A and B are shown apart, each in its own frame.
Chain A
Amino acid sequence: MRVERREEKILVIDGLVSGYGKMEILHGISLSVRRGEIVGLIGPNGAGKSTVLKAAAGLLKVTSGTVIFMDEDVTHTPPYQIVEKGMAFNPQGRVIFPDMTVQEHLDMGAWTIKDRLEKEKSLERIYNLFPWLIERKKRKAAQMSGGEQQMLSLARAMMIQPKLLLLDEPSLGLSPKWVKTVFEKIVEIKESGLPCLIVEQKAAMVLGYSDYAYVLEMGNNRFEGRGQNLLQNPDVRRLYLGG
């Protein structure tokens, strides 16, 4: 299985050390995402899950270790260039711009795409995935529900035609019904050929949807394995899933 996983790797993080200023949060994290996979990243509060995503997206300084994205070293690349290379990051907590309309959000998302035709194709794909956005084009984001905002945020991240989607707690603050809807959308996105790396508090939930998952603890790798296997692993169950 190991050998098989090494192929088609789209993101490889190796020995990542990073943090905020002088405070080191990650003490050498390694993980990888393959084409066509949903990879879950779980662990208790303060394990450094979100920090991994921020460091990979170029938002935090990396002290040592490497981030390889599509066979290219992007460890010290600034965030706007990483986005251009096709890594989309959807930050924690429905980061929408309240005063902008749905249409403007999508325009914003696509601004790295210069070609008009490409942009229209992108838009068409988004409207296929999120048909309800069409009638809400002119609506301001502030007037939408939490779940709708999270979906809009997802749609916006998809506008750059990414090769990899990083999602930081997509379920945060959503009703159970919306959590399910959002995760089903993520599976649909994966099946359309876009791999996702998801950080989640709702560990059991994300393991159920993940092809592969990593468990972090205090900035170190703790467990890893297929989502279903981890769900049945007694240690993981005891430590993170509440028995």
Chain B
Amino acid sequence: MKDLIGGHKTWLGIAILMAFLISIPFFASDYWMTLLVLILIYTVYASGWNLFSGLTGYTNLGLAWFIGVSGYVSSLLIADHKFFWLFAWPIGALFVGIVSIGVGYILLRIKGVYFAISMVALTEGTRELIGTEYLEPITHGGKGVPFVAGISLSALYWSVLLLALITVIICYKITSSKFGLRLIAIREDEQAAETLGIHTTREKIIAFALSAFLTGLAGAIHFTYQNYIDPSFGFTIHLTLTPIVMTLFGGVGTVFGPAIGATLFTFIHEILWAELTILYMAIFGAILIALILFFPQGLLGWMKEKGILPRIRKI
């Protein structure tokens, strides 16, 4: 089973898969491209959530805040200030990354369910703030921001493919690093981690801000792809919950779990929606409940348990 990770065959497999993914815009229909763009965006959302919450154990219910803030900043830059999309995206992501250092400094002292609630409150509060008429000259208020970034679907696809790849590599590197171990120590027992000399608040803030930056980048791309953002759309709780469900689906705290979760989730969702439009929510809910009941550690956790995959942290 070790060959699965280290062997030449694995690298060959990865190379073929990458070549295939890169070449997709040359032969795939727009429908498939759109589906893949969404899968990749959600892969980054789920991995970004997992990077912080999966490793530190702090449940972040404010993923939509990362996405919405970065989405708004980049969308406004493109719509009102005529920024080129390639520059607007990282500015949006950097903005939310830096602001989340301050937010983390305050909120990451709160533990457990209180932290989770405070992030929901932050998201809702920001949504209201952006929608107020007082800020309308800057944010367009509740009317939302329609815009055209002038980016082709292929370029969008390649950008988000690159981002997803970088995100998974970062997660892989962190999970197998000392920094990752320190985060896991915080998850397992924060006070014990502190007695080992870990500056817990600082480590949490770094992970939180990194998660915000990566998620924010995907958020900026997401709204460029939609050509539109408004407060209820940019900060909807779905943007928080869907990536969390995807991560649970694939395996919390694993490297590839979020990506696998995002892929399967999107496909199942798509098939159900196309074939059983009326019943799809009910069936989808049943599938989710079954998964949580029978695979509480996610698909990857289950496969590790059964010995199908080696039990190492790097997966």
CB contacts (< 8 Å) of B200 on chain A: these are 80
- Most B CB within 10 A of own CB, among A78, A80, A107, A157: A80
Q: Which of A78, A82, A108 contacts B182 (CB 8 A)?
A: A108
Q: Does A95 contact B (CB under 8 A)?
A: yes
Q: Does B10 contact A (CB under 8 A)?
A: no
Closest chain-A Cβ to B197's Cβ sits at a distance in Å of 3
**A82 to B196 alpha-carbon distance, docked (Å):** 10
Nearest CB in chain A to that of B197: its residue = A83
Classify the interface of chain B: helix, strand, loop or mixed. helix
**A82 to B195 alpha-carbon distance, docked (Å):** 9
**A59 to B198 alpha-carbon distance, docked (Å):** 12
**A109 to B200 alpha-carbon distance, docked (Å):** 14
Contact check, B194 vs A59: say whether CB atoms are below 8 A apart.
Answer: yes
Interface 1/0 per residue, A99-118 and B, CB below 8 Å: 11000100111011000000
CB contacts (< 8 Å) of A104 on chain B: these are 181
CB contacts (< 8 Å) of A99 on chain B: these are 184, 188
Contact check, A79 vs B178: say whether CB atoms are below 8 A apart.
Answer: no
Q: Does A160 contact B (CB under 8 A)?
A: yes
Closest chain-A Cβ to B295's Cβ sits at a distance in Å of 18
Interface 1/0 per residue, B183-214 and A, CB below 8 Å: 01100110110111111100000000000000
Given contacts A107-B178, A107-B181, contact A83 B191 (CB under 8 A): no
Q: Does A84 contact B (CB under 8 A)?
A: yes
CB contacts (< 8 Å) of B182 on chain A: these are 108, 111
Nearest CB in chain A to that of B188: its residue = A97
Contact check, A100 vs B195: say whether CB atoms are below 8 A apart.
Answer: no
CB contacts (< 8 Å) of A109 on chain B: these are 196
18 further A-B contacts with Cβ under 8 Å, apart from A84-B197, A100-B188, are A59-B194, A59-B195, A78-B199, A79-B195, A79-B197, A88-B195, A91-B195, A97-B184, A97-B192, A99-B184, A100-B181, A100-B184, A100-B185, A104-B181, A107-B178, A108-B182, A108-B196, A111-B197
Interface residues of B (CB under 8 A from A): 178, 181-182, 184-185, 188-189, 191-192, 194-200
* Sample (13) of A-B pairs whose CB atoms are under 8 Å apart: A79-B194, A83-B196, A83-B197, A84-B197, A95-B191, A97-B185, A97-B188, A100-B184, A100-B188, A107-B178, A108-B181, A108-B182, A108-B185
Interface residues of A (CB under 8 A from B): 57, 59, 78-80, 82-84, 88-91, 95-100, 104, 107-109, 111-112, 156-157, 160
